[in-house]
Amino acid sequence: MFPHTRRTRIVAATAIASLIGLTAACSSSGDGGSGSTDPEVISGDITVLTWRTDLVEDGTFDGYKAAFEKAYPDVTVEFEGITDYEGEVRTRMNTKEYGDVLGIPNTVTPAQLPDFFEPLGKVDELEKTYRFLRDKTYDGLSYGIPVVGNTQGIVYNKTVWKEAGITEVPTTSEEFLADLALVKATGSIPLYTNYKDGWPLTQWESHRGSISADPEYQNKMTVSDAPWAEGTDHFVIDSLLWDSVNQGYTEADPTSTNWEESKALLATGDISAMALGSWAISQMQQAATDAGQDASIIGYMPFPHQTDGQFYASVGGDYNQAINVNSTHKAAARAWIDWFNTESGFAEAQGGLSPLKDGPTPSTLVDFETLGVEYVAQNPGVEGEESLLNDIDNEAEIGLFAPEYRQRLVDSARGATDETKEQIFDDLNARWAAARASIG
């Protein structure tokens, strides 16, 4: 639900280097897994495809490997870090060789899940243990379990906002824009779009559902001919982005932004805020520490909107780990997924929400706890129509999670094109309605 491909961009060369290292470490293959869940019985070599090339590099995954292989002595696990995860894995899924365990690429529609992945069980059963599962279910069966849950908000530099004289977290778009004006007076870039890298702009999309506080918001989009009509979540979210850019609160030349640099700039206060998922908080805290600041200067606020005096923030799973339907070691693969989610401590280490139902609240979200933010998770479509939202989006070529759609808004807002905000919304509504009609 919240894609963030290439959040950690590592050059391809290092990924290749690690791959070579992994191949060299390959041992001879054991025999196939049986149906048993007994750690003594499960055996085999499994390959885990991962998008976290940074964690493969820095040895974090080696630690997981050692701990897992201790618990399951007959299983050998290898990692394959992939830099262009979405593109490469999708292409590889046309063959049978896409690892034993992998994160489900975001472009796989729910209806395609049974073709490529092994069902992990009935979603109702699994939900006794896990949460954020609904996104990767089809026909009542669950195909993936998220490694971590994310919520959405705006990460900001507390020192800068304090210097600007802001004491209260903004509760409306107007207040937020007024605050950005105060921040601008201090000389900091109030809001950074990361337009050039593109994918950070897609983070704005993840706020959908948190404005209306409606778990059915996505499903309502599939029956609406005007998801950008005044008052909808998309209208509120995109208007805030448009107005921030239009009133000059974002970087002067958005085409020359740089994601890695932006983290350091937020830490030093040259940038005051960015709209990003909760996964970004720990990275920003790290950047603050690297810049000689205290990690506590990094704050996190919900989208500036309240329903009945209450903040809401959408939540959903990160990448979901799933089992390749062609795998010959499914029991071992399953053991890895369960172990990773329950024993590894990955979610805590990443400062994200645990995929476990009764998991602890991470320390990174202490700001949300203080504000009493309520979480909203989106319900999947009715059985058999889980793919509808994706299908309409692709048919309309809008790309709700594609950078182009919001780059167009930014370009219009900064006067680089002649379009007005209303014209863009009208066009989006028209394309959505036409796509809905053609998919029928």
Partner 1 sequence: MTFASKSPRPSGPAGRPAVAGRPNAAGPAASPAADAVPAPGPTARSAPLHSPPSSRARRRRGTWGWAGTPYLFLAVPILLLVLFTYIPVGNMFWYSLTSWDGLDKTKEFVGIDNYVAVFTRPELFKVFFVSLYYLGGSFVQMVLALYFATILSFSTRFRNVFKGILFFPYLINGVAIGLIFTYFFKAGGTLDTILHLVNADALIQQWTGNPDIVNFSLAGASVWRYMGLNFVLFLGAIQSIPGQIYEAAELDGANRWHQFRYIIAPSIKPIIGLSFILAVSGSLAVFEIPFIMTGGANGSMTFVIKTVDMAFQFSKVGLASAMAVVLLAIVLLLTWLQRTIIPDEKVNLT
| Binding interface with partner 1 (CB under 8 A) | 87, 90-91, 93-94, 107-108, 112, 115-116, 195-196, 198, 252-256, 258, 394, 397, 399, 402-404, 407, 411, 416-417
Closer residue to partner 1, CB minimum distance, 153 or 254: 254
Measured distance CA(285)–CA(255) in Å, rounded: 26
User: Computed from CA positions of residues 292, 294, 300, 304, in that sequence, does the dihedral angle turn out positive or negative?
Assistant: negative
Q: Are 120 and 126 in contact (CB under 8 A)?
A: yes
Closer residue to partner 1, CB minimum distance, 74 or 419: 419
Q: How far is the CB of 138 from partner 1 (least distance, A)?
A: 14
Q: How far is the CB of 103 from partner 1 (least distance, A)?
A: 15
Q: Are 211 and 234 in contact (CB under 8 A)?
A: no
Q: How far is the CB of 16 from partner 1 (least distance, A)?
A: 14
Q: Which residues of 326-361 are buried (b: 16+ CB within 10 A; e: fewer)?
A: ebebbbbbbbbbbbbbeebebbbebbbbbbeeebee
Closer residue to partner 1, CB minimum distance, 33 or 198: 198
Closer residue to partner 1, CB minimum distance, 8 or 109: 109
Closer residue to partner 1, CB minimum distance, 142 or 194: 194
H helix runs in 117-210, sequence order: 123-126, 158-163, 173-185, 199-202
Q: How far is the CB of 409 from partner 1 (least distance, A)?
A: 12
Torsion of CA 223, 226, 227, 232, to 10 degrees: -110
Q: How many CB atoms lie within 10 A of CB 376?
A: 22
Amino acid of residue 155: V
Closer residue to partner 1, CB minimum distance, 82 or 335: 82
Q: At a CB cut-off of 8 Å and minimum separation 6, what does 24 contact?
A: none
**Tokens (6 digits) for 57:** 């590099």
Q: How far is the CB of 3 from partner 1 (least distance, A)?
A: 12
Q: How far is the CB of 91 from partner 1 (least distance, A)?
A: 8
Q: Are 425 and 406 in contact (CB under 8 A)?
A: no
Q: How many CB atoms lie within 10 A of CB 208?
A: 24
Q: At a CB cut-off of 8 Å and minimum separation 6, what does 230 contact?
A: none
Closer residue to partner 1, CB minimum distance, 253 or 308: 253
**Tokens (6 digits) for 253:** 């030349």
Measured distance CA(21)–CA(433) in Å, rounded: 51
CA angle, residues 165, 166, 169, in degrees to nearest 5: 175
Closer residue to partner 1, CB minimum distance, 215 or 399: 399
Q: At a CB cut-off of 8 Å and minimum separation 6, what does 105 contact?
A: 85, 86, 89, 90, 93
Task: Give 264's strand partners.
Answer: none
Q: How far is the CB of 183 from partner 1 (least distance, A)?
A: 20
Measured distance CA(323)–CA(283) in Å, rounded: 29
Closer residue to partner 1, CB minimum distance, 196 or 234: 196
Q: How far is the CB of 185 from partner 1 (least distance, A)?
A: 21
Q: How far is the CB of 165 from partner 1 (least distance, A)?
A: 28
Q: How far is the CB of 247 from partner 1 (least distance, A)?
A: 17
Closer residue to partner 1, CB minimum distance, 289 or 417: 417
Amino acid of residue 224: S
Task: Give 101's strand partners.
Answer: 48, 323
Closer residue to partner 1, CB minimum distance, 303 or 405: 405
Measured distance CA(144)–CA(243) in Å, rounded: 38
Q: How far is the CB of 237 from partner 1 (least distance, A)?
A: 20
